[in-house]
Amino acid sequence: MDSKNNHPVPVMALIEMARQAKALNDPYVQRTLMALAVTNNPGLASALQMKLGLRAVIEMLDPFPFDAPEEEEFA
């Protein structure tokens, strides 16, 4: 295995990614994060950061395009 891939991900970065994943409420990111927590793999971390970064930009440029009705509206 490449020695570079054995380098652990800083804990603070993991916490930050967990916070962002939770805010995005994205199951894909959360699953990746779980895999990351198990393997502590910087390759995965890098892919995840890229996805989070892209999602953050997309969310900023293109807000969630759906209604979000409240419970009272269904009654």
Q: Residue type for 60, please?
A: M
Q: How far apart are CA 33 and CA 10, in angstroms?
A: 14
- Contact segment (CB under 8 A) with another protein among 3-11, 12-20, 21-29, 33-41 equals 21-29
Q: Is 60 in the site for another protein (CB under 8 A)?
A: no
C-alpha torsion angle, residues 31, 71, 65, 44 (rounded to 10): -10
Among 18, 26, 37, 49, binds another protein (CB under 8 A): 26
| The pair of three-digit structure tokens given for residue 39, joined into one six-digit string | 């393997």
Q: Which of 7, 10, 15, 28 binds another protein (CB under 8 A)?
A: 28
> Which residues contact another protein (rule: CB under 8 A)?
25-28, 62, 64-75
